[in-house]
Structure formats: structure tokens, C-alpha cells
């Protein structure tokens, strides 16, 4: 059975993730030379742990993981509540600090909330796919996403909260939700977004949006980071300024260069060729993820793969978009590349699930 799983796995997904991780390590090595490579060394440790976790998530049947997901869902709801009472870091209560390391429950919760969401969805659809369009059942399903999202917004961490919603929306679309709900949701968003901006969003969030529309509004304050990021990417030109030689990166103008703006480091020191390769690798990874969702042996696998694709897609577009000034800054990491244990381990969990789902397909059906 295990040999059959290994034979069916979409190895291209793993290759893409490994290449992205290697590029991230090279960028981190350069970005941390002035700090004694501390984050670079930690990242290597996280990669080793992440690969072990990926293997576990590949080998354990995803349906078994789905069956225990309610327990993990409950655990992470408790953690998302508990983290609100921790000490604020940069204006957010998102981390548990354990010695020299930090733990971000919102990142790990992504995996189990999405699996739990898919688990409930498949239970609802046992009596027919159209059951998802019954208002009470749809409301119960959406509640499983809304509860953790509200807790994450409370931290506040708007970027991660949006990732949850994007993932859930794609899953519902694949599950066959009625068009009237889609149209209604679009109209609701159109009404709610302006209200959120004027009456709900804190001032720092409004400032980020204002600066996104006009970075020169506050070039030495809120607009500083995105301006430096665009300068770094532009300075890299085709082949880059060379490792350890980027002006914005090495002289401290780019911040935070190991997490939010790691793509700017790549653009400045490795140039358009490698930065473009990063985007191509992500597109290939996401395309392969969609193929896994389409060819999964059951709805559970299809829904989980779709949810993971949604998270990968959002993180790629948002992080790269914000470093280029095309989207507002939200603090969303570039998966497999940005520094951070919570983000990296979660990425390898999702990667393992994709390999898991692809390995358990009846692949011969699709070859004929």
C-alpha cells in the first residue's frame, strides 16, 4: 500500500516546495549576515522539523486526520482565545513565547480549521450535494470558519483572517454552492467593506490602506517600508546586485527583510530572473494542487486540496503584491521562503496533505 502511495504522489509539488525553500535560505543567509545569521540557523532547524512533519502528514490517511480534526479544532480555539491575553508584540497578541522561540497558533490553526470545515461539509453532503444550499446547514458550516476568524481579527491579524476566508470560499465553490449565495456575498462585501473602513478598522489599518493608495502620503512613516521595497526590487534589474551586496538589504533600509519583505531581498540581490522563477514555481505548485483536487479519490480529499490551494494562492499574491506596492501591507509571509517557524511548519503540513491526497488517488483511471 505504501509503495502504491509513493508511486502515485505528485512529486512535482515537493520539488517546487524544496526549490522555494532553498531560494528562501539563500535570501535569509544574505539578509542575516549583519545579525550573525541567527534567523538563518533557526530556519534550518525548522526546515528539518518541517520535513519530518511533512512525512507524517503524507503517510497518515487524510480521512483519519479529518476524523480527529474536531479535537484539534477545539484545542486551537482555546489557544486562539488564550493568545489574546499574552503580551503585545508590535501591536498584536499573536504569539506564545517559549524561550528563544515563538509559537503562532493562528498559523497552525489554518490546517485543522480547514480540515474540520471540509469534515463538516462532507457530513452535510452525505444526503446529497445540494444539502449545502440549505440556509441552516450553510450557516452552521460557516460558523466553524467565522469563530476562529473573529478571534484572529481580535489579535489583530487581518492577513491571516483573509486567508481563512479565501480558502473557505474556494471550497464552497467546488462543493457546488448556489449562485444566489455567491451573488449575495459579493453584494454584502461591497456594502460591508466601506463600513468597515470608516467605522471598524483601527487607525493603523486605515493608514496602511491610505498609504497603499499613495505611498508618498507618509514617505518617512507608514509609506517608508513599501517605498524601500520597490527601490530594492527595481535596483536588482535582470540579474541582481549580487548576494550580500544589496544596498537596501545590507544597509538596513529594508524592514522587515527576513519576513514580510523577503521577496524584495530576492529581487534586489538575485534580480528579475530568480524573482520571476519564484513566481513560476508558485504558479506550478498551485496548478499541481488544483490537479490533485480534481483527481482526488473522494470529496474530502478534493475539498482539503482546494482549501490548501486557496491558502497558497492568497499568500503568494498578497506577499508579492505588497512588496511591489500593488496590494496593502498585511504582514502575510511568503510561504516556504519567509523566516518563521510557525509559517514554515504549517506550510510543510499542507504540503504533506497534498502529497497524501495525490498518493491515494486511483491514478490509473485518469491515464486511460
Per-residue pLDDT tens for 128-159?
888 899 999 999 999 999 999 999 999 988 89
pLDDT for 367 beyond 50: no
pLDDT for 362 beyond 70: no
Euclidean distance between CA atoms 120 and 38, whole angstroms:
42
For position 252, what pLDDT does the model report?
87
Cell of residue 297, nine digits: 479519490
95, 142, 166, 289, 315 from 312: Cα distances, Å: 22, 21, 10, 9, 5
The verdict on residue 162 lying in a domain is: yes
pLDDT for 103 beyond 60: yes
195, 210, 218, 257 from 214: Cα distances, Å: 21, 6, 8, 22
Query: What does the pLDDT average to over 32-56?
Result: 94
The verdict on residue 131 lying in a domain is: yes
The total domain count for the chain is: 1
pLDDT digits (tens, 9 = 90+) for 296-326: 999 999 999 999 999 999 999 999 999 998 9
pLDDT band at residue 200 under the 50/70/90 scheme: confident
The verdict on residue 1 lying in a domain is: no
The verdict on residue 143 lying in a domain is: yes
Give the CA dihedral 90, 149, 79, 59, nearest 10 degrees: -110
Percentage of the residues of the chain whose pLDDT score is greater than 90: 67
Euclidean distance between CA atoms 155 and 41, whole angstroms:
29
For position 129, what pLDDT does the model report?
84
pLDDT digits (tens, 9 = 90+) for 249-285: 999 898 889 999 999 999 999 999 999 999 999 999 9
Range of the domain at 359: 18-367
For position 210, what pLDDT does the model report?
79
The verdict on residue 7 lying in a domain is: no
Q: Tell if the pTM clears 0.75, that is, is over it.
A: yes
Contacting residues for 353 by C-beta, under 8 A, at least 6 apart:
57, 58, 62, 65, 111, 115, 304, 305, 308
CA contacts within 13 A on the Cβ side of 24: 31
Higher pLDDT residue, 334 or 211?
334
Query: What does the pLDDT average to over 35-63?
Result: 94
* Helix segments in the chain, DSSP class H: 2-8, 11-31, 38-59, 62-82, 105-124, 135-154, 158-175, 179-195, 203-213, 224-236, 247-250, 262-295, 299-323, 341-359, 364-367
pLDDT for 219 beyond 90: no
Largest CA distance in the chain: 62
Give the range among 208-212, 214-218, 364-368 with minimum mean pLDDT. Answer: 364-368
Contacting residues for 63 by C-beta, under 8 A, at least 6 apart:
298, 300
pLDDT for 6 beyond 80: no
Contacting residues for 90 by C-beta, under 8 A, at least 6 apart:
none
The verdict on residue 6 lying in a domain is: no
Question: How crowded is residue 131: how many other Cβ atoms within 10 Å of its Cβ?
Answer: 16
For position 232, what pLDDT does the model report?
95
For position 368, what pLDDT does the model report?
33
pLDDT digits (tens, 9 = 90+) for 275-295: 999 999 999 999 999 999 999
The verdict on residue 5 lying in a domain is: no
Q: Is-cis flag, bond preceding 256, omega within 30?
A: yes
The verdict on residue 244 lying in a domain is: yes
103: which strand partners?
Answer: 96
pLDDT for 364 beyond 50: no
For position 3, what pLDDT does the model report?
67
Amino acid at each position: 500500500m505504501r509503495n502504491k502511495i509513493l508511486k502515485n504522489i505528485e512529486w512535482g509539488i515537493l520539488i517546487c516546495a524544496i526549490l522555494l525553500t532553498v531560494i528562501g535560505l539563500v535570501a535569509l543567509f544574505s539578509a542575516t549576515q549583519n545579525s550573525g545569521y541567527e534567523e538563518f540557523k533557526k530556519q534550518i532547524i525548522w526546515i528539518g522539523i518541517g520535513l519530518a512533519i511533512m512525512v507524517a502528514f503524507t503517510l497518515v490517511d487524510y480521512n483519519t486526520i479529518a476524523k480527529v480534526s474536531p479535537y484539534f479544532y477545539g484545542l486551537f480555539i482555546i489557544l486562539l482565545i488564550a493568545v489574546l491575553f499574552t503580551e503585545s508584540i508590535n501591536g498584536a497578541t499573536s504569539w506564545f513565547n517559549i524561550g528563544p522561540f515563538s509559537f503562532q497558533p493562528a498559523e497552525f490553526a489554518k490546517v485543522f480549521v480547514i480540515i474540520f470545515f471540509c469534515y463538516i461539509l462532507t457530513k452535510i453532503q452525505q444526503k446529497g450535494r445540494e444539502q449545502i444550499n440549505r440556509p441552516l446547514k450553510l450557516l452552521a458550516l460557516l460558523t466553524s470558519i467565522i469563530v476562529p476568524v473573529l478571534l484572529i481579527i481580535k489579535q489583530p491579524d487581518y492577513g491571516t483572517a483573509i486567508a481563512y476566508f479565501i480558502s473557505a470560499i474556494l471550497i464552497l465553490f467546488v462543493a457546488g454552492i448556489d449562485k444566489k449565495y455567491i451573488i449575495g456575498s459579493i453584494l454584502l462585501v461591497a456594502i460591508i467593506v466601506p463600513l468597515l473602513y470608516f467605522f471598524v478598522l483601527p487607525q493603523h489599518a486605515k493608514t496602511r490602506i491610505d498609504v497603499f493608495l499613495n505611498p508618498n502620503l507618509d514617505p518617512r512613516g507608514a509609506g517608508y517600508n513599501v517605498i524601500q521595497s520597490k527601490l530594492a526590487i527595481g535596483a536588482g534589474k535582470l540579474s541582481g546586485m549580487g548576494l550580500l551586496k544589496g544596498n537596501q538589504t545590507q544597509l538596513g533600509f529594508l524592514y522587515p527583510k527576513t519576513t514580510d519583505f523577503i521577496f524584495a531581498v530576492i529581487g534586489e540581490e538575485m534580480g528579475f530572473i530568480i524573482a520571476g522563477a519564484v513566481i513560476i514555481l508558485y504558479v506550478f505548485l498551485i496548478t499541481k494542487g488544483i490537479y490533485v483536487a480534481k483527481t482526488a479519490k473522494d470529496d474530502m480529499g478534493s475539498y482539503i486540496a482546494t482549501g490548501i490551494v486557496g491558502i497558497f494562492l492568497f499568500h503568494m499574491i498578497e506577499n508579492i503584491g505588497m512588496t511591489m506596492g500593488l496590494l496593502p501591507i498585511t504582514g502575510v509571509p511568503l510561504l516556504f521562503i519567509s523566516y518563521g517557524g510557525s509559517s514554515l511548519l504549517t506550510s510543510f503540513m499542507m504540503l504533506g496533505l497534498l502529497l497524501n491526497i495525490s498518493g491515494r488517488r486511483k491514478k490509473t483511471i485518469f491515464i486511460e
